[in-house]
Structure 1
Amino acid sequence: MMKPEFRAMDSSILSGNPGADKAALLLPPFDTCSPAELLAHFRQRAVDNYFPLKPGKAKHVASAAPILDNEFTLNNETHRLGNGFDWLHNPSADLEWLILLHKFYYARDLALAYDYSGDEGYADNWVALVGSWIKQVPDGFVNSQVTGRRLQQWLLAYHYFVPGRDCQAINAEFLLAFLHSIQSQALFLSRNLTPEGNHRTIELSAIFTVAILFPELSASAELLTFAQSELLANLRQDFLADGVQKELSTDYHHTVLKNFLRVRELADLNGVNLPEPFDAVIEKALEFSIYAHKPDGWLPAINDGDVNSYLSLLGKAERYYPSDALRYVLSQGKQGQPPTQRSRLFADSGYCILRSDWAERPYADGRYLFFDCGDLGFGSHGHYDLLSFEMAAFGRSLIVDPGRYTYHEHPSDDVNWRHAFKGTAAHNTVMIDGKDQMAYQCHEPVGPQPHAAVIRFESNQGFDFVHGRALSPRYEVDHQRSIFYAENEYWIISDLLSGCTSHRYQQFFHLPPPWSAPIQSLNNRQGQGVCLPNLLVAQAPRAEVAMRIESGWFSPEYGVKHAAPVLCFSQEGDGTRWFQTVLYPYRDDAPDIRIDSLPVSQSQHLATPMQAMALSITLKTADTVYRDCFFVSHLNETTEYRFADIVCRAKLLFVRRNLLGEIVSLQADAIESLKIAGRTLVDSIDKPVTLNYRPSPTTPTPSAVCERAA
């Protein structure tokens, strides 16, 4: 083990430091205690006012072993530092590595290894690292949020080494230096808070923790008052009205939520009251988390972040914010009650989750699609991914957001990887003229930004439909994307691209690695697309649209990337261009599929895609044959359209028929009239309604259903 160096430099840490004076550091009567008495006091203090400590395990001993030799693996990059190393020197080209070194996450492994083994060497090492950091590093080094993170990790380790322990590595001189440093750092934070965002939340949480756990410190009362006041204001500022954290990152949403939950738990343990609005905002943030988690328990990495699961965090939240919906998700449908809405739009963020029934069994097999119809979000974590999505079914992600990979902009292999993962081409949307949706910036956006908005959202027992629009300052094209979730079974994505001049359009679908079988192209009869394990991606064949498989990347965690295929449909031209794509997930055997475009006429003239589009989708399995017809209008006013054997006035129509031509299901939105094969089914002129119809012995005709709804 590395020999600790702290004992040899106790006096040098404290000398010349006026804050080390106990009278300035501690309140009466502690300011008059001898160092030995202070050490005894903090060792004998109760620990029931801190989070429950988990016991150490053998794995923590293994994780701590390299740290004893000053070998640190951070962000999947390893560097071995010498004894007495310089804390201000970065051995990595990536600043994030140095930032993590100063955050001290590895202190947890040392503490838990000590708890498991009782070996004083782990405590010696922690003392040596903390002591040398105190000696070398000024408050606020790098930025304030690093200070906040470090305080959280130092206090976690402290509770394994000091209260209720007789750890010989901790002497009175070190304890005084430690107490002085945490007070100094907390005071620095209170005077240098990040203006807003997840960093500010972390910093305030750290201040609150120091103040509430160490009432003996002279500044604790002041710090606690400050933190309580600022935390509520920050909570209201940090979350949008729909409960989504304003940086619009699924990962950072939960980082912020975790820190506020830490405040809630510490307040509860220490008898500190928090204002009622605090809980109301947290409950809304938890609602988003319930919907954002995929049925397999993982989160999509929307904007900056890794592929994570925060179900354990929700488990902690359930203690303070119990709900049937939270219990249902945590138990995978075995307890509680499902959320009242199957699919959900979070209107302020522009995030929309379309999913199958919560009663799906097995629970993990549910179908799920996360649609990003929001702006870039506050700060620097937004990707150029307007109208992108992630999709999962049958326990696995089938179309993925590739993640973030790095914050470091220095090119490697002649590639700026920050740009490569942040750019539009790295997302499941349409790229225009090879341009990102905004001019690339490594950090916060500068200059004009793209804008996205939800135009319409409809969700009911029969279908889900969302229609969004994105505009970019980099080109004159208006991109509209609608997603229809049909029969609790599959999705139809319609992309409408309107421009005056000629443009090149590339539509991307990022696939996760590794595939267990080769990607197979559909034959000409079926359409244009591919058959993948558990997923069919298909479009009606069109001569102007080319398809190819490109090489891409997928990053499940920072610093790690895996080669992954990307399906790309492309076309170019002027005027209005479009893509219509069927995403059909399947469990075992892929159905035989056929996709055809249907010409749509309006007032005896062929309708343009700007007016309306229709598809015929034939699905054949071992047991059934369905012929589905899908129609969507893009005009605000309602007019009469004709396609196949259908005449309708509607914004949206889906008809499923069996092999005998019988209607199995009929779904419509804003429908006024409908004829199929010459038979009038709906006649509700000037009274548009939403229609969900599935025949059964007790179900009335579609027209009766429509009249009742009107």
Structure 2
Amino acid sequence: MSANVVNTLRLRAFTTFLSLSASLALAALIFRVVRSWSGRDYIGDSSFLIVSYITYHFVDVRLLPILALSAAIVTILYWISRRTGKQLLLPNFIVIPVFLLTFLFAAGILFKLVSPVDRLVSATTLSDKDFIALFDLQNPSLSKVRISYENQDYQEAQNRLLDYFQSRFRAHSETVRERVDPKQVLKTANLALEHSFTIKGRTKMFPDNIGWHPELSDDREWTYLLNRTLWFDDLVTASLLTDDRHYTDEFSRQFKDWIAGNPLPLWINERNPAWRLIDTGIRPYSSWIEVFKLLVNSPYVDDETRLLMLKSLHDHAQYLFYFQTSGTNHVLIESRGLLKLANEFPEFKRAGRWREVAIRRLESEIRKQVYPDGGHVELSSDYHVRSLNHFVFPLRQTSGPEAHVAPGYREKVEAMRDFLFYTLKPDLRLPLLNDTNTRDISKKLLSEARTDHRGDLLFIVTQGAEGVPPPVRSRAFEDSGVYVMRSDWTELAQYLIFDAGPYGGWHGHEDKLSFELSAYGTPMIVDGGAYRYSGDKLYRAYFVSSAAHNTVLIDGRGQSRRFIEANKRPERADEAQRNESNLWFSDEEIDYVSGIYRDGYSDMQNSGSGDPVIDKSVTHRRDIVYIKNDYFVIADTLSGSGTHDVELLFHLPPESLPQIAGESVNIRYPNEATLEILPKGQGQLDIFITAGQRKPIQGWFSSEKYEAVPAPVVAMKFRAKLPTTLYTVLVPSPAAAVTENRFHVNNLAVLDTNCESTKVCLEITSTKSVDRITFPSSDMAGRLSYSKKINSGEPVSFERRVREAGTGDGPHNK
């Protein structure tokens, strides 16, 4: 190919490249215009123009003349070649860089034109005139501000603005003592004076200025939480309670230091500890709005600080308005923060737009994040509560105009309440599903039930003292894959919650088919909890793994759903398919549930780096039958091929006292209630009790302070050729002093006769009766057939023959 032809092709390619650059930038511009016209003039969830995003960060404005000169040189050469008819040969080392630089120039410049950064200007950098112009001066309440502004006395306009807010929030500051616990406020404020901060169980003290970006490389989450500055309102409140200016002086120093060290960014950077979007949303509604409402009337805070806080609140709103995350609970927090700012400061011109966008985002997310049965897609009890609080917020706002939400929004909120209240443990604590740490929220739940005028929820949270009984005690949340078995609504109820749902995304645990059990006023079998998100990676990996849950390990390996790409983010509720392999039945005598895990097993400590070895040759099916008011039976069926080491785990609360008694385990709890674990399987079964073991990590519980506390775990180990089934009977009993008529199992047998070929019979002989429970067999074809029977209304077979004292078996009851 001749040089002239090559050069011509290069020049044509160059012009084509320029055309594509212009087209791409034009498409971005149109996209922005359409989003703005549609009311979505925020770009946090858009993925357009990745190259332009890069150029925004890396193309310095000072480089633009160089890029323009490069483009001009090539353009001139092209023009000369066209005019003279001479094909000018340009070497590759010139053509290719010029092509790329020109593209970056075009895309970068146009991206800067279509992005919101020209409008995202920090209010802290504005002139007095431009700052006052951020307010709706047509608002009659701001008439004095408007007069000063029109008279071009902008300093006086700012004074009148502060006068207005002082009047508006005076009652709020005067009644602060009624809303707080003075002892707790002063404790937090005094620690803040010393620059000592304890976050999620970890304390750090700063001798001089607070390092807003401390080098805690092993615990980035701690730094994020520090920048929420949740103690700011304690400092200002302490000053009002004690009339001591030391608190407000320290607040002013810390606040101004934070502003100086953390200027408003012009683009999203989720690794920026100060402006991560979730923290930008939390600061206003958890601290800074309250701070402003108090400090505006404090005699010890100067006007400069008051105005700086007001300006920064505007910055927070604008940042939350233009940018957002997507697909997680973070966007709910961001939306709530934006809505709170709009409601508390309707005087800002943009407040109406902030409110509209915040509500629209919440409407969109409730469709994506809440299943039809009310479960949240992350399937964490803790994040369910948090998400419910955010979704409820626009329905309960005490300031701003009434929120008008989309059809179906309120119904989803009510479904979320149902899920929360019906899954509560008898002690009114949350079940530890996925990332959840134990905590008492009973007072908040009582307030919720009374505010919402829900008689059934009031009955649940008062344990029958108020309200009306719910229509059912046991309940299946089949979209979420969560099932609850319960004897009654008292604190002494027998209760089991079973998790057979999806993984749940980033907050998910390897806990499918795990369960928790409570009875007679105490938790008996527990989930390990969540621990800390960052810090000690080995312990975090343990708490997420199957080893910290009440399920099985195969050849020392746990479940491996976290390595499936689709599980790394929660599924969309409006696109999810219900798991039809789960079965549920409930009547007055029994509850029955069944679930399957078939996603494979891998090393529990593998954090996701590299390619984990996943063994998918084993399928675990767990059937649970609750014989109401007496006991629970668990059938663990392992299908596949070959011979494997199987380990069945039962995690106990830290204060429990387990003891091996032959082939069973007896556990005593602090209130003297007991639990008996009776296994029945094929071959030799070895039982071990471990607590606080470090190598390998086993036997730990995550406390309310996010600390790992030693806790006993019962491990039942056996080697079996598949398929095999292990049956376990769990018999909870009250304290001996409560009743002499304790339910006690005398014998447990798997029957080979008198059962249909597609079923397995378990016979349980107790002091009260002889019970026979018929399960579907481990054969999958039989299971499918049985599934149809369940759906048509036939329960798992249960027969009870009551034993009469001294006369053997009594009459037959079914």
Among 626, 650, 654, which residue is 1:485 paired with?
A: 626
Paired residue for 2:710? Answer: 563
Q: How has the CA–CA distance of structure 1 residues 619 and 113 changed in structure 2, closer, same or farther, with 3 Å as cutoff?
A: farther
Cα deviation code 1:325-350 (max 9, x no counterpart) = 11112222111112111100101110
Matched, 1:157 2:290: yes
Aligned mates of 1:342, 1:558 — CA distance in 2: 32
Aligned mates of 2:726, 2:477 — CA distance in 1: 26
Q: How has the CA–CA distance of structure 1 residues 618 and 662 changed in structure 2, closer, same or farther, with 3 Å as cutoff?
A: closer
Deviation at 1:17, TM superposition (A): 4.7
Paired residue for 2:722? Answer: 575
SS at structure 2 position matched to 1:557: coil
Aligned mates of 1:453, 1:19 — CA distance in 2: 63
- Report matched runs for 1:192-271 at 5 Å: 192-266=323-397, 270-271=401-402
Paired residue for 2:560? Answer: 438
Aligned mates of 1:545, 1:638 — CA distance in 2: 32
The answer to whether the Cα contact below 8 Å between 2:646 and 2:718 also exists between their aligned partners in 1 is yes
Q: How has the CA–CA distance of structure 1 residues 341 and 587 changed in structure 2, closer, same or farther, with 3 Å as cutoff?
A: same
Aligned mates of 2:308, 2:566 — CA distance in 1: 38
Paired residue for 2:102? Answer: none
Aligned mates of 1:125, 1:308 — CA distance in 2: 32
Among 629, 646, 655, which residue is 2:800 paired with?
A: 655
- Larger strand percent: 1
Paired residue for 2:642? Answer: 501
Q: How has the CA–CA distance of structure 1 residues 212 and 269 changed in structure 2, closer, same or farther, with 3 Å as cutoff?
A: closer
Cα deviation code 1:25-75 (max 9, x no counterpart) = 322144625332222111111578999971342232123211111111111
Paired residue for 2:103? Answer: none
SS at structure 2 position matched to 1:598: strand
Matched, 1:65 2:65: no
More displaced stretch, 568-577 vs 15-24: 15-24
Among 553, 572, 576, which residue is 2:700 paired with?
A: 553
- Report matched runs for 1:14-413 at 5 Å: 16-17=125-126, 21-28=130-137, 29=142, 30=145, 32=149, 34-46=157-169, 54-91=179-216, 93-139=218-264, 141-142=272-273, 143-158=276-291, 161-162=294-295, 166-266=297-397, 270-358=401-489, 363-377=490-504, 379-408=505-534, 410-411=536-537
Paired residue for 1:467? Answer: 594
The answer to whether the Cα contact below 8 Å between 1:419 and 1:442 also exists between their aligned partners in 2 is no
Cα deviation code 1:409-441 (max 9, x no counterpart) = 655xxxx11111101111001122222211656
Deviation at 1:547, TM superposition (A): 1.4
SS at structure 1 position matched to 2:770: strand
The answer to whether the Cα contact below 8 Å between 1:350 and 1:453 also exists between their aligned partners in 2 is no
Cα deviation code 1:568-614 (max 9, x no counterpart) = 1122232211111111111113654333223223799xx5xxx4333
Paired residue for 1:646? Answer: none
Unpaired segments ≥5 residues, structure 1: 1-12, 640-648, 667-692, 694-710
Deviation at 1:111, TM superposition (A): 4.4
Q: How has the CA–CA distance of structure 1 residues 595 and 541 changed in structure 2, closer, same or farther, with 3 Å as cutoff?
A: farther
Aligned mates of 1:15, 1:368 — CA distance in 2: 55
Among 646, 662, 665, which residue is 1:529 paired with?
A: 665
Deviation at 1:91, TM superposition (A): 4.3
Cα deviation code 1:373-424 (max 9, x no counterpart) = 10101x300000000011111121110000011212655xxxx111111011
SS at structure 2 position matched to 1:315: helix
- Report matched runs for 1:663-702 at 5 Å: 666=813, 693=814
Aligned mates of 2:688, 2:381 — CA distance in 1: 30
Q: How has the CA–CA distance of structure 1 residues 583 and 268 changed in structure 2, closer, same or farther, with 3 Å as cutoff?
A: farther
SS at structure 2 position matched to 1:34: helix
Aligned mates of 1:287, 1:272 — CA distance in 2: 23
Paired residue for 2:776? Answer: 633
SS at structure 2 position matched to 1:284: helix
Deviation at 1:23, TM superposition (A): 3.4
Q: How has the CA–CA distance of structure 1 residues 269 and 488 changed in structure 2, closer, same or farther, with 3 Å as cutoff?
A: farther
Among 516, 519, 522, which residue is 2:658 paired with?
A: 519
More displaced stretch, 438-447 vs 153-162: 438-447
Aligned mates of 2:567, 2:681 — CA distance in 1: 39
Cα deviation code 1:117-147 (max 9, x no counterpart) = 3333323333322222111114463321111
The answer to whether the Cα contact below 8 Å between 2:658 and 2:712 also exists between their aligned partners in 1 is no
Q: Percent identity?
A: 27
Cα deviation code 1:231-254 (max 9, x no counterpart) = 211222221111011100000000
Cα deviation code 1:178-206 (max 9, x no counterpart) = 12211212221222211122111110000
Paired residue for 1:616? Answer: 763
More displaced stretch, 14-23 vs 592-601: 14-23
SS at structure 1 position matched to 2:507: coil
Q: C-alpha root-mean-square deviation of aligned residues, in Å?
A: 3.1
The answer to whether the Cα contact below 8 Å between 2:292 and 2:310 also exists between their aligned partners in 1 is no
Q: What is the one-letter code of the residue matched to 1:255?
A: R
Q: What is the one-letter code of the residue matched to 1:507?
A: L
Aligned mates of 1:106, 1:352 — CA distance in 2: 40
SS at structure 2 position matched to 1:161: helix
Matched, 1:601 2:753: yes
Matched, 1:420 2:545: no
Aligned mates of 2:201, 2:169 — CA distance in 1: 38
Aligned mates of 1:453, 1:560 — CA distance in 2: 38
The answer to whether the Cα contact below 8 Å between 2:123 and 2:131 also exists between their aligned partners in 1 is no
Aligned mates of 1:125, 1:19 — CA distance in 2: 26
The answer to whether the Cα contact below 8 Å between 2:561 and 2:599 also exists between their aligned partners in 1 is no
- Larger helix percent: 2
The size of the alignment, in residue pairs, is 621
The answer to whether the Cα contact below 8 Å between 1:503 and 1:572 also exists between their aligned partners in 2 is yes
Q: How has the CA–CA distance of structure 1 residues 232 and 268 changed in structure 2, closer, same or farther, with 3 Å as cutoff?
A: farther
Aligned mates of 2:407, 2:441 — CA distance in 1: 25
SS at structure 1 position matched to 2:428: coil
Which has the higher Rg, Structure 1 or Structure 2? 2
Unpaired segments ≥5 residues, structure 2: 1-121, 150-155, 572-577, 601-613, 692-698, 737-741, 787-793
The answer to whether the Cα contact below 8 Å between 1:513 and 1:564 also exists between their aligned partners in 2 is yes
The answer to whether the Cα contact below 8 Å between 1:328 and 1:338 also exists between their aligned partners in 2 is yes
Q: What is the one-letter code of the residue matched to 2:533?
A: Y
Aligned mates of 1:569, 1:20 — CA distance in 2: 74
Aligned mates of 1:494, 1:391 — CA distance in 2: 16
SS at structure 2 position matched to 1:365: coil
More displaced stretch, 139-148 vs 329-338: 139-148
Aligned mates of 2:597, 2:171 — CA distance in 1: 52
SS at structure 1 position matched to 2:550: coil
| TM-score between both structures, scaled by the size of structure 1 | 0.81
SS at structure 1 position matched to 2:506: coil
